Structure 1
């Protein structure tokens, strides 16, 4: 049976098409320069530069020394099972919406691949001063509460291998591993993580793990709070509320 031809959308957006083509080229073919990108797309170099900078901002690309651009963390995270991520997102979303209503702050769900963590779901609070959506964005795992929770599941050897497998050029934000191991041991023991301004100045995030039926941590569930509104005295209550939401997500995943 002959495969039907694709029909371009009636209102195609050239800039979106160009950005997607560049992302595909970098993922499948490797690094390229601004000049090469401009030539492949048939656009001016200034246009190609703006497209690449936007891909860098959204973590679809990274800029290497020597004026080359390559596939970024979002494209590298494609190895994470799409079906597993979709299931996790579907199970978590309604409980995250209830969590936001309960605490009045924005909520996020984070997964980890290697030494990087990605927000796969964000639900914003209704407050005027709030932490905005981080959905789709990628950060070094040790900079996020969810990332710290997931790194804390690794053994000392696994943690070392995760960082040693990446060259210094690939890891631009290399943590102090002995110090990180000590922190992760504490996080694993207490069952929650607090991130005060690590990923963004003026933001505090508190998170707990979401586990599967076998006890394996699948993701980090967190709330993000403007630091001016964070009250350390409310931490136990906040952790308890997060834990209840995580329990409900785990129950839905089990069924």
Structure 2
């Protein structure tokens, strides 16, 4: 059946359910899926049955439905393609700022680095591409969290905890929610020694990317200072906008 948008209605509805699960932190109850999608429960059951059979969803012991391994396989392939497409942007930005630039994606309840352009300085930051990190204590992670609704943030905190990587990591949910509010207002996130002692990072979102994506610059706190941010944050935003235009 065709939808008003000209697409296939059944496909659109199945994708809507996957996106709702994603927005809610990776899993959802039937009541939540029905409320957010506006679909009747029998329709949701039929769609979920197919998604489960194909590996794109799974039913938890709690009877909630979660994203399945099929979604992760697609996300991994999309992440590799995105990293390759973004690399020229990262290299240009690293050349301008002189520090290491990273691109990260939201990977369920973690952030995964998919591309990097390293600084040429002798003392520099290096993060292995493919590394997964907690969201609450990294610049890219907090930027990605800031794009989620509060219910999803709470779900992440409940499922992964807020383990401290350093003494300055945020470990209190209320403090994290307050910081995310400030990030949304400012339009960028800061990791001030929260993942690694002596390292500071500034991160922005890539607007309109097909997956939740953040772009960051990081280095020793002695060089990556608040003064450095006056140049770095506008440069990050400009490159993120150029990247987004290419990815559309």
Which TM-score applies when normalising by structure 1? 0.63
Q: CA deviation at 1:152?
A: 0.6
> In the aligned structure 2, how far is the partner of 1:86 from the partner of 1:113?
13
2:180 counterpart residue number: 184
3-state SS of paired residue (2:121):
coil
Which range moves more in the overlay, 101-110 or 115-124?
Answer: 115-124
1:9 counterpart residue number: none
2:238 counterpart residue number: 244
1:173 alignment partner, one of 124, 145, 163:
163
3-state SS of paired residue (1:83):
helix
1:152 counterpart residue number: 146
> In the aligned structure 1, how far is the partner of 2:117 from the partner of 2:232?
17
1:138 counterpart residue number: 132
Matched, 1:114 2:104: no
Q: CA deviation at 1:82?
A: 2.6
> In the aligned structure 2, how far is the partner of 1:153 from the partner of 1:236?
23
2:191 counterpart residue number: 195
How much is the aligned-residue C-alpha RMSD, in angstroms? 2.3
> In the aligned structure 2, how far is the partner of 1:252 from the partner of 1:208?
17
Cα offsets for 1:64-86 (capped at 9, x unmatched): xxxxxxxxxxx9x9456133212
Q: 1:1-255, aligned counterparts within 5 Å?
A: 78=72, 81-164=75-158, 166=159, 171=161, 173=163, 175-212=171-208, 218-254=212-248
Preserved CA contact (<8 Å) 1:80 1:113 = no
The number of residues matched between the two structures is 174
3-state SS of paired residue (1:238):
helix
3-state SS of paired residue (1:251):
helix
Preserved CA contact (<8 Å) 1:196 1:203 = yes
> In the aligned structure 2, how far is the partner of 1:172 from the partner of 1:235?
27
Cα offsets for 1:17-41 (capped at 9, x unmatched): xxxxxxxxxxxxxxxxxxxxxxxxx
> In the aligned structure 1, how far is the partner of 2:87 from the partner of 2:139?
19
Preserved CA contact (<8 Å) 2:93 2:101 = yes
2:41 counterpart residue number: none
> Radius of gyration: which is bigger?
1
Which TM-score applies when normalising by structure 2? 0.64
Preserved CA contact (<8 Å) 1:210 1:217 = no
